[in-house]
Structure 1
Amino acid sequence: MITNKLVNQSIDYIMRHLDEEISIEDVADYCHFSKYYFSRVFKKETGESIYAFIKRLKMEQSALNLKIEKDKSITDIGYDYGYSPSNYSSAFKKHHNISPAEFRKSKNTTCVPHPFYQDKLAKFQSFEEYDQRILIQELDDFVVIYERYIGNYIELGKNWYDFTEKYKDYFKEDTLLIERFYDDPSITSLDQCLYDICMTVDKNCSLDNVTTIQGGKFALCRFDGLIQDIFAAFQGVFNIWLPDSGYEMDERYGLDIYRAIDWESMHVVMDLCIPIK
């Protein structure tokens, strides 16, 4: 878990400005520290230098764009993250071990390897089947207590248990449990996935780790099944539905809103929420 409040603020700053040239000095200045001191704090908390973190996020976010923005040219996606065509192709291949063109082609498929179960494939439904299940809704802002993690999503169950125990005194009848996810585990290394686990609270909550998740227009896909099958549902929405839906994902990040959880059977009902414009 990332416990340093300024490191969390710096990560938020970096993700808001990924399409710009961000320097270590920019991030340190935003947090009002010298770059040398803040670089040490950042690496201690995240396991990566600020420079490596920024570069990795640019490569991984651009890969997501290649997957879901199939009508946008590879050159333009590279430009969006500050790369010339030749530099982008070289940097992308160095990071992902595949060229941007080959990566995009590989995502036009009916299944993908399951990152959490190496002997399984995540199989997708048709666009029409997803489209029948997806609702477009405007969501209000959520005021939440949150804790941020970098690591394997497979640890979610334990992290959720610890989180709900720690904040059990803040539960009310209408409390929602929400995950905010920043990475696609089919792209990002499993031990580097960034995510927040959250619960809604009153806006006057005095805890330090309270933030507001921006609402707006979302595509909601209801999932009712075992936790191990969430990945396939998530990837189907991104690989099959979103590229042909006529919508674009905007700069906000995705949410999982839990509606019911049975931790004993690992069965959940949840809304997979993709921010769109």
Structure 2
Amino acid sequence: MISNELVIKSIDYIMQHLDEEISIEDVANYCHLSKYYFSRIFKAETGESIYAFIKRLKMEQSAFRLKVEKDKLITDIGYDYGYSPSNYSSVFKKHNNISPAEFRKGKYTECVPNPFCEDKVARFQSFEEYDKQVIIQELDDFVVICERHIGNYIELGKNWLDFIEKYKDQLKEDTLLIERSYADPSVTRIDQCLYDICMTVDKDCSFHNVTTIRGGKFAIYRFDGLVQDIFTTFQGLFNVWLANSGYKMDERYGLDIYHSINWKNMCVVMDLCIPII
């Protein structure tokens, strides 16, 4: 878990300004710290330098958009993250061992390797099958207690149990458990996935880690099954449904809203929510 509030604040700042030239000085100044001191605490908390973290997120976000924005020019996606065409191709290839054009051509519409089970392939349904299960809905803002993590999604179960135990006094009948995901594990190294685990609370809750998750328009898919199958469903929604739906994902990030969890069998009922415009 990332416990330093300034590091959490700096990550929010970085994600909000990925389409700009962000320097270490910019981030340190935003947190009112010297760049040398801030660089040390950032790396201690995340395991990465600020520079490496920013470049990685730019490459991962752009790779995700190459998958789902099939009609947008590669050069335009590179420009969105501050890269000229030749520079973007060079940096992307160095980071992913493949050029942006090859990456886009190779992105699967029927299946994708499962990084959590190396001997398995995640196979997708058709667009029509996903589309009949997706509803478009406006969600209200959520006031939540929030903890941020960088690591493997496989650790989510333990992290959730620890989180629920820590905040059990805040649980009510209408409490929602929510994950906010910032990483696509088909693009991001699985031990570097960034995500928040959250619990809805009253607006007057005095905990230091209370924040608001923006609502708005979402495409919502009700998932009812094994935790191990969530990756396949999410990849199908992005690679097949979103890429062909006519909708685009906006600057918000995806949410998972839990309705029930069977810890013994690791089965869940949850809404997979994609923010759209």
- Specify if TM > 0.5: yes
Question: 1:266-277 alignment to 2 at 5 Å?
Answer: 266-277=266-277
Q: What is the Cα deviation at residue 46 of structure 1?
A: 0.3
Q: Cα distance, 1:108 vs. partner?
A: 3.5
**Equivalent residue, structure 2, for 1:228:** 228
Could you tell me which residue of structure 2 aligns to residue 156 of structure 1?
A: 156
SS in 1 for 2:38: helix
Q: State the alpha-carbon separation in 1 of the partners of residues 22 and 85 from structure 2.
A: 19
Amino acid paired to 2:9 = Q
TM-score (norm 2): 0.99
Give the counterpart letter for 1:161 in structure 2.
Answer: L
Q: Are 1:218 and 2:218 matched, yes or no?
A: yes
Q: Secondary structure at the match of 1:219?
A: strand
* 1:34-77 CA-partner distances (Å, limit 9, x unpaired): 11111101000000010110000000000001000000000000
How far is 1:20 from its partner?
A: 0.5
The residue aligned with 1:139 is: 139
Any unmatched runs of 5+ in structure 2? none
Q: What does residue range 1-277 of structure 1 map to in structure 2 within 5 Å?
A: 1-277=1-277
Cα offset for 1:105? 1.1
SS of residue in 1 equivalent to 2:270: strand
State the SS of the aligned residue for 2:197.
strand
In structure 1, the residue corresponding to 2:269 is in which secondary structure?
strand
- Which stretch of the first structure deviates more once superposed, 102-111 or 148-157? 102-111
- What SS is found at the alignment partner of 2:40? helix
Deviates most, 105-114 or 50-59: 105-114
Once the two structures are TM-superposed, the CA of residue 178 in structure 1 deviates from its matched residue by 0.3
User: What letter matches 1:198 in structure 2?
Assistant: C
Q: Residue 125 of structure 2 aligns to a residue in which SS?
A: coil
Shift of 1:109: 2.7
Which stretch shifts more, 99-108 or 51-60? Answer: 99-108
- Structure 1, residues 109-151: CA drift from partner, whole Å, max 9, x if none? 3001111011111010000000000000000000000110000
Amino acid at match of 1:276: I
Q: Secondary structure at the match of 1:196?
A: strand
SS at match of 1:55: helix
**Structure 2 SS opposite 1:83:** coil
TM value normalised by structure 1: 0.99
Cα distance in 1 between the residues matched to 2:165 and 2:52: 34
Given residue 160 of structure 2, which amino acid in structure 1 is its aligned partner? W
| CA–CA distance in structure 1, aligned partners of residues 70 and 222 of structure 2 | 25
| Runs of 4+ in structure 1 over 2 Å off | none
Amino acid at match of 1:157: G
Matches of 2:106 and 2:218, distance apart in 1: 27
Q: Distance in 2 between matches of 1:271 and 1:109?
A: 23
Amino acid at match of 2:82: G
Q: Deviations over 1:213-258 (max 9, x none)?
A: 0000000011000000000000000000001101000000000000
